[in-house]
Homo-oligomer: A and B are copies of this chain.
Amino acid sequence: MHTSQWIVAWVLLLQGCTAGRLQRDTSPRPDIRDCSTSPPYLPPTATETTARLAALRGAMQAHGIDAYIVPATDAHMLCPRLQSEYIAERDSRLGWVTGFTGSAGTAVVTLDKAALWTDSRYWTQAERQMDCNWELQRTTRIESIGLWILEAVPVGGNVSVDPFLFSIDTWSSYSEALHGSGRTLLAIETNLVDEVWGDQRPPAASSSIYSLSTEFTGSSWQEKVAGIRQQMEQHVQSPTAVLLSGLEETAWLFNLRGDDIPYNPVFYSYTLLTSSDIRLFVDETRLTAEARQSLQADCPGSLCVELLEYDQVRAHVHDYAQGNVTIWIGTEYTTYGLYSVIPQEKLLEDSYSPVMTAKAVKNAKEQELLRAAHVRDAVAVIQYLLWLEKMVPQGLVDEFSGARQVDALRWAQEHSRGPSFESISASGLNAALAHYSPSNVSSRKLSVDEMYLSDTGGQYLDGTTDITRTMHWGVPTPFQKEAYTRVLMGNIDLSRLIFPTNTAGRTVETFARQALWKVGLNYGHGTGHGIGNFLSVHEWPVGFQSSNIALTKGMFTSIEPGYYQDGEFGIRIEDIALVVEAQTEHQTGDEPFLTFEIVSLVPYDRNLIDVSLLSQEQIQYLNTYYETIRERVGPELQSQQLEEEYRWLQRNTEPFLQSSAGTAAAALGTLAITSLVSALLTKLQA
C-alpha cells in the first residue's frame, strides 16, 4: 500500500528537518476561497463553523484559556509518525471544528482567530472544506504554529491542549516553542471540543470485541504474556510493568479483535501488564462471552486479566506509579497525558514497547498464516486483473467501479474481513498523485491508452495483505516501459538482496532505487513498511525508514518502489516480503545472513517489461518467483474452479528468455552455429 503520509515522512527523514522544508519549494497558489468579498466566496463543499467556534470559544473562556490546539490524532496514535492515518469518526475533532477532513493537520483557535496547518497534499482539500473563519497555513512546522500563537496570544496568556492527544515529542516541541515567552502551555484533561460537540458527537463504539480462534493465532495470550514478563525480568533496569497504549499492542497480546477503527481490527483499550497482574482497560460489556472466558479462565493469579473501565487508565497508572516500580513504555506512541503521570525516575523509555517489538517478529505459525492469506488474496487479485483485461477495452470500468470490484472479489474469499485500507485505483495522470482514492463523484474511466495503478489489500482472519500492480492494456510508450521495468528491477534487486542480520532497512532500501537512479529517475516516498497478522496494514516498527528497527528473521515488510511522472502516469510495484535466512557459502558473524521471500503471489504486467534491460540474474529471479506463484496459487485457483483464471496465470507466468544481449542467447547462438559447423564438416568429409 502506498500512502501519502509515507511520502512526507520519507522526505522529512531524507532532509533531516521539519516539515517546513518540504513546503518551501512548493509555489503558492491563490486560495480557492475568496474571503475578501462580502459575502465571501466559498465553494459549496465548505462547512459552516461559526456556531461551533462560538461554542468552543465559550468553553475556552470558561476555562480561562486564550488558545486551544486541536490535532488530527486520537489517543492511541496508530502508526506512530504517520499521524493516525485512520481514526474513528468520534475522534475526528479536527474535522468537526474546522470542516477539514484530511488525515493530517493541526488547528489553533484563539478568542478571535482560527487557523489550520496542513501539508501540501491537503491544501486544496482544506480550501474546499473550510469557511472564512479559518486561515490556512501551508506548513506543518510546530515552530510556525508557535510563532503564530505568540502573535495571537498576549504575554500571560494560557495555551491549552488535551494531553491525551499529544505525543511526548509533540508536547515537548510546543513547550519549547513557548518557552520563556510568558505564555503558559496548559494540559487540560477535559477535551473542549468534545464538550461543545455534545450530543452531536458520534457515540463510542459498541460492537463486539472477540477472541481470535486458535487456528488464527501464533501463540496463546498466556504464552505472549510470559514472553514479555521474561523480557522484563532480563532487562538490566528490571521494569515492574509494561504500559500499552497502542491499540494493536493490546489486540495482539490478548488475541482479541474489534472494529473501532476503519480497516484496522482493533478496539479502544490500554493494558498495564505487571510482573504479578494484568489490567485491561476496556468497555467490558463489549467482550464476547468467549473473550471474557479466555481472559479470566485462570483467575485469580498472575494470568488473570482484570477488566477495568477504559477511562480509568490514568488513575490506575497514577496509583501504580506511587509504588517502588519501573514502568516500561514505547515513547513513539504513548501520549503526554499518560506519560506525565509517571515520575521520570520510574520510567523505562524505549521508542517501542517490548510488545511492539515482539509482535514485529512473526513465529513459524504466524508466517504460515500470512502466507496462506496471501494465496487467497492472490486469487482475488488475479480475478480482478483478468476482469480488467476483459472489461477495460469495452470502456466499462472506471476507477471507482474497479475499486469496488476488487473489494468484492476479496470479500468472496474465505476468512475475509474486507479491505485493509481504502483501495487506491488510479488511471493515467491520477496515479502520479501521491494521495489518490477515487470517489463515486469523480472517477476516471480506465482505458487501453493509459496506465492504471491498483494498490489494494485485504483483512483476513489469518492475515493482512497489501499489493500494488500497475498495468497497461494497450501500447505503452518506450519511456513508460523503461520506467516500469526499472521499478521492477528495483523491486527484484531489493527482494533478492542477501544481507547480515540486524541490518537497518534504511541502509538497503537504496537497492530498490539503483536501477532508476542509473538513468536519473527516482521516487519520493519510502520503500516499505511492516504489516500485521490480521492487524494494521502499516505495522511499525518494521520497514526501511530511519526510525525502523533492524531487520531480523521473521519480520514482514512491503517492498514498493515506484516512479511518478507528474500529469502523465504513475507506477508502483509492491509485494509483501518475509525476512528469511539466506543460504550462503560462507558466514561472517554468529548469525546466518538474511534475504527476503516474497509472499505476494501475482505476476507483473508482461506488456510493460522490457526484458532487454534485465540482467541474467534478475531474469532468473523472476522465473523462480513465477514458478513459486504457479506452485502456490495454481492449485488454489483450481480448487476454487477458476479455470479461466488458472489459464491466465499460466500464460502470465511463462518463464522469460534471456534478452538478446544476454549470455544465454549468445550461448544458444554459439550452439546453433556449432551444429551448423558440425553439419558442414560432415558434408565436407562426405
A residues lining the B interface (CB < 8 Å): 14-16, 180, 345, 497-500, 502-504, 506-511, 514, 516-522, 550, 582, 584-589, 592-593, 615, 661-663, 666-667, 669-670, 673-674, 676-677, 680-681, 683-684
Contacts and interface: CB of A to CB of B under 8 A. Distances in A.
Contacts of A667: 666
Contacts of A589: 522
Nearest to A25: B590
A334 to B, nearest CB: 20
A358 B66 CA distance: 45
Contacts of A683: 684
Given A16-B504, A506-B507, A507-B510, 8 more contacts: A499-B510, A500-B517, A500-B522, A615-B615, A669-B670, A670-B673, A673-B674, A676-B677
Nearest to A509: B507
11 contacts: A16-B504, A516-B588, A519-B585, A520-B584, A520-B593, A661-B663, A663-B663, A666-B670, A670-B670, A673-B673, A676-B677
A670 B663 CA distance: 11
A499 B520 contact: no
A588 B525 CA distance: 13
Contacts of A510: 499, 503, 507-508, 510-511
Contacts of A499: 510, 517
Contact of A588 (B520, B592, B670): B520
A670 B676 CA distance: 12
Given A663-B663, A680-B680, A519 B586 contact: yes
A590 to B, nearest CB: 8
A460 B587 CA distance: 41
Nearest to A662: B663
A585 B585 CA distance: 38
Count of this chain's copies in the oligomeric assembly: 2
A519 B16 CA distance: 34
A579 to B, nearest CB: 14
A593 B517 contact: yes
Contacts of A498: 517-518, 520
A544 to B, nearest CB: 10
Contact of A680 (B500, B506, B514, B681): B681
A216 to B, nearest CB: 34
A397 to B, nearest CB: 31
A506 B667 CA distance: 40
Contacts of A506: 506-507
A508 to B, nearest CB: 5
A176 to B, nearest CB: 12
A500 B521 CA distance: 9
A466 to B, nearest CB: 24
Contact of A497 (B508, B517, B586, B676): B517
Nearest to A615: B615
Contacts of A521: 586, 588
Contacts of A502: 14-15
Nearest to A546: B546
Contacts of A16: 504, 550
B674 A684 contact: no
Question: Which of A16, A509, A521, A662 counts the most chain B CB atoms within 10 A?
Answer: A521
Given A510-B507, A510-B510, A584 B519 contact: yes
Question: Which of A508, A586, A683 counts the most chain B CB atoms within 10 A?
Answer: A586
A680 B684 contact: yes
Contacts of A516: 588
A375 to B, nearest CB: 30
A566 to B, nearest CB: 10
Contacts of A592: 520
Contacts of A684: 680, 683-684
Nearest to A584: B520
4 tightest A-B contacts by CB?
A520-B584, A666-B666, A520-B586, A520-B587
A323 B18 CA distance: 30
